[in-house]
């Protein structure tokens, strides 16, 4: 889980000081495929780029392995995730928690975060070379760090904290054990999430470059298939305007190619489905370098070795979002939508192939990992003149990708600020009336469309039945499930922020959260209180534990289980009164009290 940050400056290679590194802007040539040869990127240059990258990595500063056993990874930098790129690498911890985690070089603890979500227990160490390393999903911190955190939690009367520290408070030495590995936060199993950031800009660097000599990888990326994507209103493939998927197959000679005919005309883009592998594991990884050539000239290249948090959501334009939403399958696009500002992309004519001659177009993908292992896929596209279907604009509203866009109808107002769309959109709206509901169901477009930022959606409530208007909110309807978006009441309207076009309506949450005691008979013997917190719709917003009216620190995990461990420095022997108060996002509140003797 990535914590968004604002970054303005691109760092150089990890061996360079971020303060002196020069920014390398992405190259988005807006020009036709046929152009002067000086503007083209020859295929031989690709090989030189790959070799140069490998040599540069060899010079990167060597960091200590944060663990005490050989490195195996369960995830690599830039992997495709839901709405974001993976911001670091994931070290395997032998399937267990509690492994010592060492500082990879000297520095000081500059930030500590504690949360049931995201990185869980997260530790940030800033180093003299201008980088900061991040250690996530920790089970616990070392004693000096844990003592500092606990004191701040009691000062702020909150389990969740995000602490910023000055250099003098918690210095650390290289090799020092700073934590034990765990599975806290938004983690799917025991591992250590590790990042390297430019301290000044907080931009992310690929940590793999620091550990290449201690990881074995002789396995190249694997291509499963491709998509041929006609540009709407400008291209056609096999007589249709929809995306065409083709599998990769090996010929008798061992060459990787595409099964089935591809006949196209006009402007088309390509996308590739692929993953990478490493030795000694069964995990799959993201592909670092993707290059597409047309008639031996490079028209697209992606080299994913750095990005900033404010860029990470561009993943939804870098991949085919509709396929991901419908099938949870990632196709990486080799063409660039006009609203995509990823810096690590280079292209000619935004990677779009113009098929305007009745001949065979020879294309090829070359995929490479950080170790120089490569895979090549050959693609033949036959230029065949055919009618290009027009865009259906009936009952559609044109939204321009570079402008603010507004839409209004009965009971709905929608505002998309500039910078939210990656491409032009013929917006299609429909409504489903339901007299028993607080509002109609509003369908914002007929296909999934991601938004880069946040759009304002206002829906009108046809009935105002809640005395406490905090109980109203907008919900998202998807795959038969309702997810709470929330919002603010305004003269019968509910104003909310959304990050995707889809189906929305108004609902109300009038039910208080549920507090469920767990293993109550063992509380005193085990010297801990344990509860599960749940809510029917809007979700648990906050909770507070007290003993005899004083704040008591309840820890929460990512399954909404809260635990109070008897604090012998603060809890004296005798009779006491426990009180746990839980509030959901609509202000509904539940209270649990329990007298006990310890």
pLDDT in tens, 360-388: 999 999 999 999 999 999 999 999 999 99
Supply the pLDDT for residue 49.
52
Q: For the residues 215-221, what does the mean pLDDT come to?
A: 97
Q: Indicate whether 32 pLDDT > 80.
A: no
Average pLDDT, the chain: 91
DSSP 513: P
Tokens of 468: 């406490």
CB 306 within 8 A of CB 78: no
Residue whose C-alpha is closest to residue 442's, from 454, 459, 467: 459
Q: What pLDDT is recorded for position 57?
A: 45
**Which contacts of 325-329 are long-range, i.e. CB under 8 A and separated by 24 or more positions?**
325/448, 326/448, 329/273
CA atoms of 434 and 552, how far apart (whole Å): 46
295 to 211, 276, 363, 379: CA distances (angstroms): 37, 26, 6, 10
Kindly tell me if the per-residue pLDDT of 36 is higher than 70. no
Cα dist from 234 to 54, 391, 425, 520, whole Å: 39, 9, 14, 66
Pairing mode, strands 396-399 and 425-432: antiparallel
147 Cβ partners below 8 Å, 6+ apart? none
**b/e per residue 248-262 (b: at least 16 CB within 10 A):** beeeeeeebbbeeeb
Does pLDDT of 322 surpass 90?
yes
Residue 48's pLDDT is what? 52
Dihedral angle at the C-alpha atoms of 566, 570, 571, 573, nearest 10 degrees? 130
What pLDDT does residue 62 have?
86
Instruction: Say if residues 281 and 69 touch (Cβ distance below 8 Å).
Output: no
> Which tokens in the block code for residue 435?
């007299």
Model confidence, pTM: 0.88
Tokens describing residue 557: 């995990």
Q: What is the pLDDT of residue 16?
A: 34
Listed residue (317, 455, 352, 336) closest to 399, CA to CA? 455
Give the pLDDT band of residue 10 (cuts 50, 70, 90).
very low
Cβ contact 507:438 at 8 Å? yes
Per-residue model confidence as pLDDT tens digits over 496-513:
999 999 999 999 999 999
494/456 Cα distance (integer angstroms): 10
The residue-averaged pLDDT of 207-211 equals: 97
- Cα separation, 154 vs 148, whole angstroms: 10
pLDDT at residue 15, rounded to an integer: 31
CA–CA dist 127, 210 (Å, integer): 15
User: C-alpha 91: how far from its chain's center?
Assistant: 18
Predicted confidence at residue 22, as pLDDT, reads 35
* Residue 29's pLDDT band (cuts 50, 70, 90): very low
Distance set, CA 122 to CA 95, 110, 200, 202 (Å): 19, 11, 19, 15
What are the structural domains of the chain?
56-214 (2.70.70.10), 217-383 (no CATH), 396-508 (2.60.220.30), 514-597 (2.60.40.10)
Look at residue 50 and tell me whether its pLDDT is greater than 60: no
Alpha-carbon span 537 to 529, nearest angstrom: 26
CA distance 422 to 164: 35
Instruction: Supply 144's token pair.
Output: 């000096």
Tally the C-alpha atoms within 13 A of residue 56's C-alpha that lie toward its C-beta.
14
pLDDT digits (tens, 9 = 90+) for 288-314: 999 999 999 999 999 999 999 999 999
Q: Which spans in 296-411 are helix H?
A: 315-318, 321-327
- Using a pLDDT cut of 90, give the percent of the chain over it: 87
- Lookup: tokens for 381: 């596209």
Yes or no: say if 356 and 362 are a contact pair by the CB < 8 Å rule: no
Percent above pLDDT 70 for the chain: 90
Helix (H) or strand (E) run with residue 428 in it = strand 425-432
Task: State the DSSP code for 395.
Answer: T
């Amino acid at each position: 889980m990535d914590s968004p940050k604002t970054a303005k400056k691109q760092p150089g290679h990890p061996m360079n000081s971020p303060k002196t590194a020069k920014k390398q802007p992405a190259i988005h040539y807006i020009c036709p495929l046929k152009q002067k040869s000086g503007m083209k990127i020859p295929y031989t240059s690709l090989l030189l780029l790959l070799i140069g990258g490998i040599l540069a990595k060899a010079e990167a500063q060597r960091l200590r392995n944060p663990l005490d056993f050989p490195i195996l990874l369960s995830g690599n930098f830039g992997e495709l995730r839901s709405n974001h790129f993976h911001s670091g690498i994931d070290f395997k911890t032998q399937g267990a928690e509690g492994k010592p985690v060492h500082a990879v070089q000297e520095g000081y603890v500059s930030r500590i975060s504690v949360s049931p979500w995201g990185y869980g227990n997260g530790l940030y160490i800033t180093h003299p070379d201008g980088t900061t390393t991040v250690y996530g999903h920790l089970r616990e911190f070392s004693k000096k760090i844990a003592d500092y955190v606990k004191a701040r939690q009691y000062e702020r009367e909150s389990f969740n904290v995000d602490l910023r520290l000055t250099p003098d408070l918690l210095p650390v030495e290289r090799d020092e054990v700073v934590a034990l590995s765990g599975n806290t936060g938004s983690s799917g199993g025991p591992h250590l999430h590790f990042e390297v950031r430019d301290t000044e800009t907080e931009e992310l660097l690929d940590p793999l470059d620091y550990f290449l000599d201690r990881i074995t990888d002789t396995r190249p990326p694997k291509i499963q298939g491709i998509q041929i994507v006609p540009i709407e209103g400008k291209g056609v493939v096999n007589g249709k305007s929809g995306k065409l998927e083709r599998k990769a197959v090996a010929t008798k000679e061992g060459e990787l190619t595409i099964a089935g005919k591809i006949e196209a005309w006009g402007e088309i883009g390509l996308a590739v489905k692929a993953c990478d592998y490493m030795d000694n594991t069964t995990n799959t990884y993201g592909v670092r370098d993707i290059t597409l050539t047309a008639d031996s000239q490079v028209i697209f290249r992606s080299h994913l070795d750095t990005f900033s948090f404010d860029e990470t959501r561009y993943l939804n334009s870098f991949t085919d979002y509709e396929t991901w939403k419908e099938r949870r399958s990632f196709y990486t696009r080799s063409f660039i939508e006009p609203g995509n500002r990823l810096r690590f992309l280079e292209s000619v004519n935004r990677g779009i192939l113009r098929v305007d001659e009745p001949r065979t177009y020879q294309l090829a993908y070359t995929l490479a990992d950080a170790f120089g292992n490569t895979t090549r896929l050959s693609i033949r596209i036959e230029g065949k003149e055919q009618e290009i279907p027009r865009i259906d604009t009936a009952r559609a509203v044109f939204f321009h990708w570079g402008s603010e866009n507004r839409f209004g109808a009965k009971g709905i107002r929608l505002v998309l600020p500039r910078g939210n769309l990656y491409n032009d959109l013929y917006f299609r709206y429909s409504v489903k009336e339901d007299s028993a509901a607080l509002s109609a169901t509003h369908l914002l477009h007929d296909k999934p469309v991601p938004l880069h930022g946040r759009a304002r959606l206002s829906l009108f409530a046809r009935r105002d039945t809640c005395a406490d208007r905090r109980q109203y909110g907008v919900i998202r309807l998807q795959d038969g499930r309702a997810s709470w978006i929330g919002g603010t009441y305004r003269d019968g309207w509910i104003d909310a922020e959304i990050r995707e076009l889809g189906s929305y309506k108004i609902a109300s949450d009038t039910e208080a959260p549920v507090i469920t005691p767990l293993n109550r008979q063992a509380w005193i013997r085990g010297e801990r209180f344990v509860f599960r917190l749940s809510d029917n719709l809007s979700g648990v917003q906050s909770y507070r534990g007290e003993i005899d009216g004083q704040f008591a620190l309840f820890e929460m995990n990512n399954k909404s289980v809260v635990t109070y461990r008897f604090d012998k420095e603060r809890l004296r022997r005798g009779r006491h009164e426990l009180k746990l108060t839980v509030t959901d996002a609509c202000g509904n509140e539940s209270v649990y009290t329990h007298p006990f003797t310890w």
